[in-house]
Amino acid sequence: VARKMAECAVENYKEIPEAFSLAENDGGGHCECPNCRALDVEEWQPGKPALADRLAVLANRVKETIGDRAPGMVLGYYGYHQGELPSVKTKLAPGIILGDVHNSYDLFYHQKEARAYQLRILKGWREKCAQVYLITYFHGMTWWSLPFSATDALTELIKTAAQYPSSEGIYVGMTYRHDAFGTQGNEYYLAAALMWDPRRSTEAILAEYYEAAYGPAAAPIKEYFERIGKSYGAWAGTQAKVAADECHDDSWVVPTYEPISRRCDELIQKAAAAAGDGDAALQRRVKIVADGWEWTKLQTDTI
Protein backbone atom coordinates (compact mmCIF):
# COMPACT_ATOMS: atom_id res chain seq x y z
CA VAL A 1 0.00 0.00 0.00
CA ALA A 2 2.82 2.41 0.85
CA ARG A 3 4.50 1.76 -2.49
CA LYS A 4 1.25 2.32 -4.40
CA MET A 5 0.53 5.54 -2.49
CA ALA A 6 4.07 6.78 -3.14
CA GLU A 7 3.68 6.17 -6.88
CA CYS A 8 0.37 8.06 -6.86
CA ALA A 9 1.99 10.95 -5.00
CA VAL A 10 4.89 11.16 -7.46
CA GLU A 11 2.48 11.10 -10.39
CA ASN A 12 0.31 13.75 -8.76
CA TYR A 13 3.40 15.88 -8.18
CA LYS A 14 3.62 16.57 -11.91
CA GLU A 15 0.39 18.57 -11.80
CA ILE A 16 0.08 19.58 -8.13
CA PRO A 17 3.57 19.84 -6.63
CA GLU A 18 2.51 21.48 -3.36
CA ALA A 19 0.78 18.67 -1.45
CA PHE A 20 -0.68 15.16 -1.54
CA SER A 21 -3.38 13.69 0.72
CA LEU A 22 -3.07 10.35 2.52
CA ALA A 23 -6.36 10.82 4.39
CA GLU A 24 -8.40 7.78 5.40
CA ASN A 25 -11.79 7.27 3.80
CA ASP A 26 -14.97 8.23 5.62
CA GLY A 27 -17.05 5.45 7.08
CA GLY A 28 -14.58 2.96 8.48
CA GLY A 29 -14.16 -0.53 7.08
CA HIS A 30 -10.41 -0.62 7.58
CA CYS A 31 -8.16 -3.65 7.30
CA GLU A 32 -8.08 -5.87 10.38
CA CYS A 33 -5.39 -8.34 9.36
CA PRO A 34 -2.87 -9.28 12.08
CA ASN A 35 -0.13 -7.07 10.61
CA CYS A 36 -2.33 -3.96 10.65
CA ARG A 37 -3.91 -4.73 14.01
CA ALA A 38 -0.44 -5.10 15.52
CA LEU A 39 0.08 -1.38 14.91
CA ASP A 40 -3.04 -0.35 16.84
CA VAL A 41 -2.50 0.67 20.46
CA GLU A 42 -5.92 1.16 22.03
CA GLU A 43 -9.62 1.18 21.29
CA TRP A 44 -11.22 4.23 19.73
CA GLN A 45 -14.69 3.03 20.67
CA PRO A 46 -15.74 -0.39 22.01
CA GLY A 47 -14.93 -2.93 19.36
CA LYS A 48 -13.26 -0.42 17.04
CA PRO A 49 -9.48 0.08 17.07
CA ALA A 50 -7.76 3.46 17.12
CA LEU A 51 -5.83 3.73 13.86
CA ALA A 52 -3.54 6.67 14.60
CA ASP A 53 -0.32 4.66 14.75
CA ARG A 54 -1.00 2.58 11.64
CA LEU A 55 -1.85 5.77 9.71
CA ALA A 56 1.34 7.42 10.96
CA VAL A 57 3.40 4.36 9.98
CA LEU A 58 1.83 4.44 6.52
CA ALA A 59 2.53 8.16 6.10
CA ASN A 60 6.15 7.77 7.17
CA ARG A 61 6.67 4.84 4.79
CA VAL A 62 5.13 6.76 1.90
CA LYS A 63 7.41 9.71 2.66
CA GLU A 64 10.45 7.44 2.78
CA THR A 65 9.46 5.63 -0.43
CA ILE A 66 8.99 8.89 -2.33
CA GLY A 67 12.52 9.91 -1.38
CA ASP A 68 13.80 12.78 -3.50
CA ARG A 69 11.38 12.24 -6.40
CA ALA A 70 9.03 15.05 -5.29
CA PRO A 71 11.14 17.76 -3.66
CA GLY A 72 9.22 20.22 -1.52
CA MET A 73 5.93 18.33 -1.61
CA VAL A 74 4.07 18.09 1.69
CA LEU A 75 2.09 14.99 2.66
CA GLY A 76 -0.94 15.34 4.85
CA TYR A 77 -3.88 13.50 6.34
CA TYR A 78 -6.68 13.94 8.85
CA GLY A 79 -6.63 12.89 12.48
CA TYR A 80 -10.32 12.08 12.66
CA HIS A 81 -12.83 9.24 12.87
CA GLN A 82 -10.89 6.12 13.91
CA GLY A 83 -7.64 8.04 13.55
CA GLU A 84 -8.56 10.96 15.79
CA LEU A 85 -6.67 9.89 18.93
CA PRO A 86 -3.03 11.02 18.90
CA SER A 87 -0.50 8.37 17.92
CA VAL A 88 1.22 6.63 20.83
CA LYS A 89 4.33 4.93 19.43
CA THR A 90 4.89 6.74 16.14
CA LYS A 91 6.01 10.30 15.40
CA LEU A 92 5.35 11.76 11.98
CA ALA A 93 8.40 12.46 9.84
CA PRO A 94 9.19 16.06 8.85
CA GLY A 95 7.16 17.17 5.86
CA ILE A 96 3.95 15.44 6.97
CA ILE A 97 1.16 17.68 8.27
CA LEU A 98 -1.67 16.35 10.43
CA GLY A 99 -5.09 18.01 10.28
CA ASP A 100 -6.97 17.33 13.52
CA VAL A 101 -10.74 17.60 13.13
CA HIS A 102 -13.02 19.04 15.83
CA ASN A 103 -16.56 19.26 14.50
CA SER A 104 -19.61 20.25 16.59
CA TYR A 105 -17.47 21.98 19.20
CA ASP A 106 -20.36 24.34 19.94
CA LEU A 107 -22.04 21.28 21.48
CA PHE A 108 -19.03 19.56 23.09
CA TYR A 109 -18.07 22.76 24.90
CA HIS A 110 -21.10 22.42 27.18
CA GLN A 111 -20.53 18.75 28.04
CA LYS A 112 -17.72 18.09 30.50
CA GLU A 113 -16.55 14.68 29.27
CA ALA A 114 -16.92 15.46 25.56
CA ARG A 115 -15.11 18.77 25.98
CA ALA A 116 -12.22 17.17 27.88
CA TYR A 117 -11.96 14.46 25.21
CA GLN A 118 -11.75 17.04 22.40
CA LEU A 119 -9.13 19.10 24.23
CA ARG A 120 -7.10 15.96 24.94
CA ILE A 121 -6.98 15.28 21.21
CA LEU A 122 -6.20 18.87 20.27
CA LYS A 123 -3.34 19.16 22.76
CA GLY A 124 -2.07 15.63 22.20
CA TRP A 125 -1.49 15.98 18.47
CA ARG A 126 0.32 19.28 18.93
CA GLU A 127 2.62 17.72 21.51
CA LYS A 128 3.40 14.77 19.20
CA CYS A 129 3.68 16.41 15.77
CA ALA A 130 5.82 19.19 14.38
CA GLN A 131 3.07 20.49 12.06
CA VAL A 132 -0.66 20.38 12.85
CA TYR A 133 -3.56 22.43 11.59
CA LEU A 134 -7.02 22.51 13.09
CA ILE A 135 -10.12 21.81 11.02
CA THR A 136 -13.56 22.47 12.43
CA TYR A 137 -17.06 22.50 11.05
CA PHE A 138 -17.81 24.35 14.22
CA HIS A 139 -21.56 23.72 14.30
CA GLY A 140 -21.37 20.22 12.86
CA MET A 141 -21.74 18.82 9.39
CA THR A 142 -25.41 19.66 8.83
CA TRP A 143 -26.07 23.16 10.08
CA TRP A 144 -29.25 25.20 9.84
CA SER A 145 -27.75 28.70 9.56
CA LEU A 146 -29.92 29.88 12.45
CA PRO A 147 -28.75 32.73 14.76
CA PHE A 148 -26.04 31.71 17.16
CA SER A 149 -23.50 32.95 19.66
CA ALA A 150 -21.15 30.15 20.75
CA THR A 151 -18.35 32.65 21.17
CA ASP A 152 -16.83 31.12 24.32
CA ALA A 153 -16.46 27.75 22.60
CA LEU A 154 -15.01 29.33 19.47
CA THR A 155 -12.53 31.29 21.59
CA GLU A 156 -11.39 28.19 23.47
CA LEU A 157 -10.80 26.22 20.29
CA ILE A 158 -8.74 28.90 18.54
CA LYS A 159 -6.80 30.16 21.56
CA THR A 160 -5.90 26.63 22.72
CA ALA A 161 -4.52 25.72 19.30
CA ALA A 162 -2.57 28.97 19.17
CA GLN A 163 -0.65 28.08 22.35
CA TYR A 164 1.37 25.45 20.51
CA PRO A 165 4.27 26.29 18.14
CA SER A 166 3.32 23.22 16.08
CA SER A 167 -0.01 24.79 15.08
CA GLU A 168 0.21 25.66 11.38
CA GLY A 169 -3.21 27.27 11.05
CA ILE A 170 -6.95 26.86 11.39
CA TYR A 171 -9.84 26.20 9.02
CA VAL A 172 -13.21 27.21 10.47
CA GLY A 173 -16.26 26.03 8.53
CA MET A 174 -19.03 27.97 10.24
CA THR A 175 -21.98 27.05 8.02
CA TYR A 176 -22.83 25.91 4.53
CA ARG A 177 -24.45 29.30 3.94
CA HIS A 178 -21.42 31.55 3.74
CA ASP A 179 -23.57 34.69 3.46
CA ALA A 180 -25.43 34.11 6.74
CA PHE A 181 -24.29 37.45 8.16
CA GLY A 182 -27.61 38.16 9.83
CA THR A 183 -27.52 34.96 11.88
CA GLN A 184 -23.81 34.35 12.46
CA GLY A 185 -22.00 37.56 11.65
CA ASN A 186 -20.78 37.83 15.24
CA GLU A 187 -19.07 34.43 14.97
CA TYR A 188 -17.62 35.18 11.54
CA TYR A 189 -16.06 38.36 12.86
CA LEU A 190 -14.74 36.76 16.04
CA ALA A 191 -13.20 33.79 14.21
CA ALA A 192 -11.44 36.05 11.69
CA ALA A 193 -10.14 38.41 14.37
CA LEU A 194 -8.86 35.63 16.66
CA MET A 195 -7.16 33.77 13.82
CA TRP A 196 -5.45 37.03 12.88
CA ASP A 197 -4.37 37.71 16.48
CA PRO A 198 -5.32 35.10 19.12
CA ARG A 199 -3.94 37.33 21.88
CA ARG A 200 -6.89 39.68 21.56
CA SER A 201 -9.75 39.76 24.03
CA THR A 202 -12.98 38.15 22.85
CA GLU A 203 -15.00 40.78 24.71
CA ALA A 204 -13.12 43.58 22.94
CA ILE A 205 -13.56 41.97 19.53
CA LEU A 206 -17.29 41.50 19.97
CA ALA A 207 -17.74 45.03 21.33
CA GLU A 208 -15.92 46.29 18.24
CA TYR A 209 -18.15 44.21 16.00
CA TYR A 210 -21.48 45.24 17.48
CA GLU A 211 -20.57 48.93 17.58
CA ALA A 212 -19.15 49.02 14.05
CA ALA A 213 -21.97 47.01 12.48
CA TYR A 214 -24.99 48.31 14.38
CA GLY A 215 -24.10 51.65 15.97
CA PRO A 216 -27.13 52.91 17.95
CA ALA A 217 -28.74 49.45 17.64
CA ALA A 218 -25.69 47.67 19.09
CA ALA A 219 -27.10 47.07 22.60
CA PRO A 220 -30.30 45.21 21.64
CA ILE A 221 -28.53 43.21 18.91
CA LYS A 222 -25.82 42.19 21.38
CA GLU A 223 -28.37 41.09 23.98
CA TYR A 224 -30.30 39.20 21.28
CA PHE A 225 -27.30 37.06 20.34
CA GLU A 226 -26.18 36.58 23.93
CA ARG A 227 -29.63 35.31 24.96
CA ILE A 228 -29.58 32.82 22.11
CA GLY A 229 -26.13 31.61 23.15
CA LYS A 230 -27.19 31.13 26.77
CA SER A 231 -30.39 29.35 25.79
CA TYR A 232 -28.54 26.90 23.55
CA GLY A 233 -25.90 26.35 26.23
CA ALA A 234 -28.56 25.48 28.79
CA TRP A 235 -29.99 22.84 26.42
CA ALA A 236 -26.60 21.50 25.31
CA GLY A 237 -25.36 21.07 28.86
CA THR A 238 -28.39 19.22 30.18
CA GLN A 239 -30.39 17.57 27.40
CA ALA A 240 -28.20 17.13 24.32
CA LYS A 241 -26.86 13.80 23.17
CA VAL A 242 -23.56 13.69 21.34
CA ALA A 243 -24.17 12.28 17.88
CA ALA A 244 -21.55 9.85 16.60
CA ASP A 245 -21.84 11.24 13.06
CA GLU A 246 -21.43 14.87 14.19
CA CYS A 247 -24.67 15.91 12.51
CA HIS A 248 -27.29 18.15 14.02
CA ASP A 249 -30.85 16.88 14.06
CA ASP A 250 -33.64 19.29 14.97
CA SER A 251 -33.80 18.43 18.67
CA TRP A 252 -32.06 21.66 19.71
CA VAL A 253 -34.12 24.16 17.73
CA VAL A 254 -37.33 24.43 19.77
CA PRO A 255 -35.65 24.27 23.22
CA THR A 256 -33.23 27.01 22.16
CA TYR A 257 -35.54 29.57 20.57
CA GLU A 258 -39.04 29.03 21.92
CA PRO A 259 -38.31 30.02 25.57
CA ILE A 260 -36.76 33.32 24.49
CA SER A 261 -38.99 34.09 21.52
CA ARG A 262 -40.94 36.93 23.14
CA ARG A 263 -37.83 38.70 24.41
CA CYS A 264 -36.09 38.29 21.06
CA ASP A 265 -39.10 39.88 19.35
CA GLU A 266 -38.74 42.87 21.68
CA LEU A 267 -35.02 43.18 21.05
CA ILE A 268 -35.42 43.07 17.26
CA GLN A 269 -38.08 45.78 17.50
CA LYS A 270 -35.78 47.91 19.67
CA ALA A 271 -32.95 47.49 17.19
CA ALA A 272 -35.15 48.50 14.26
CA ALA A 273 -36.34 51.57 16.15
CA ALA A 274 -32.77 52.55 17.06
CA ALA A 275 -31.70 52.25 13.42
CA GLY A 276 -34.67 54.23 12.19
CA ASP A 277 -32.78 57.51 11.98
CA GLY A 278 -29.56 55.93 10.80
CA ASP A 279 -28.15 55.64 7.31
CA ALA A 280 -29.37 53.11 4.76
CA ALA A 281 -26.44 50.75 5.34
CA LEU A 282 -27.17 50.55 9.06
CA GLN A 283 -30.86 49.94 8.43
CA ARG A 284 -29.98 47.20 5.97
CA ARG A 285 -27.70 45.42 8.47
CA VAL A 286 -30.39 45.50 11.15
CA LYS A 287 -32.96 44.22 8.66
CA ILE A 288 -30.72 41.26 7.82
CA VAL A 289 -30.70 40.32 11.53
CA ALA A 290 -34.48 40.79 11.67
CA ASP A 291 -34.92 38.57 8.61
CA GLY A 292 -32.78 35.93 10.31
CA TRP A 293 -35.09 36.01 13.31
CA GLU A 294 -38.19 35.64 11.11
CA TRP A 295 -36.51 32.64 9.45
CA THR A 296 -35.83 31.20 12.90
CA LYS A 297 -39.45 31.57 14.02
CA LEU A 298 -40.65 29.86 10.83
CA GLN A 299 -38.32 26.95 11.47
CA THR A 300 -39.31 26.69 15.14
CA ASP A 301 -43.04 26.84 14.35
CA THR A 302 -42.68 24.25 11.60
CA ILE A 303 -40.90 21.78 13.90
* pLDDT value, residue 133: 94
Which amino acid belongs to residue 287?
A: K
* pLDDT value, residue 100: 95
The whole-number average pLDDT for the span 41-58 is: 88
In which band, very low, low, confident or very high, does the pLDDT at 195 lie, cut at 50, 70 and 90? very high
* pLDDT value, residue 247: 60
In which band, very low, low, confident or very high, does the pLDDT at 45 lie, cut at 50, 70 and 90? confident
Which amino acid belongs to residue 169?
A: G
* pLDDT value, residue 244: 52
Q: Tens digits of per-residue pLDDT, 249-295?
A: 788 999 999 999 999 999 999 999 999 877 999 999 999 999 999 99
Asked whether the whole model's pTM tops 0.85, one would answer: yes
* pLDDT value, residue 176: 63
Q: Tens digits of per-residue pLDDT, 130-142?
A: 999 999 989 887 6
196 pLDDT above the threshold of 80:
yes
The whole-number average pLDDT for the span 16-23 is: 93
Beta-bridge partner residues of 21: 76
Residues in the chain, how many? 303
5 pLDDT above the threshold of 60:
yes
* pLDDT value, residue 72: 92
Contact (Cβ atoms closer than 8 angstroms) between residue 121 and residue 100: yes
Can you give the three-state secondary structure of the chain, one letter per residue?
A: CHHHHHHHHHHHHCCCCCEEECCCCCCCCCCCCHHHHCCCCCEEECCEECCHHHHHHHHHHHHHHHCCCCCCCEEEEEECHHHCCCCCCCCCCCCEEEEEECCCHHHHCCCHHHHHHHHHHHHHHHHHCCCEEEEEECCCCCCCCCCCCCHHHHHHHHHHHHCCCCEEEEEEECCCCCCCHHHHHHHHHHHHHHHHCCCCCHHHHHHHHHHHHHHHHHHHHHHHHHHHHHHHHHHHHHCCCCCCCCCCCCCCHHHHHHHHHHHHHHHHHHHHHHCCCCCHHHHHHHHHHHHHHHHHHHHHHHC
Q: Tens digits of per-residue pLDDT, 198-250?
A: 999 999 999 999 999 999 999 999 999 999 999 999 999 888 776 555 566 78
* pLDDT value, residue 245: 52
Q: Tens digits of per-residue pLDDT, 127-180?
A: 989 999 999 989 887 678 899 999 999 999 999 999 999 999 999 988 666 678
* pLDDT value, residue 234: 94
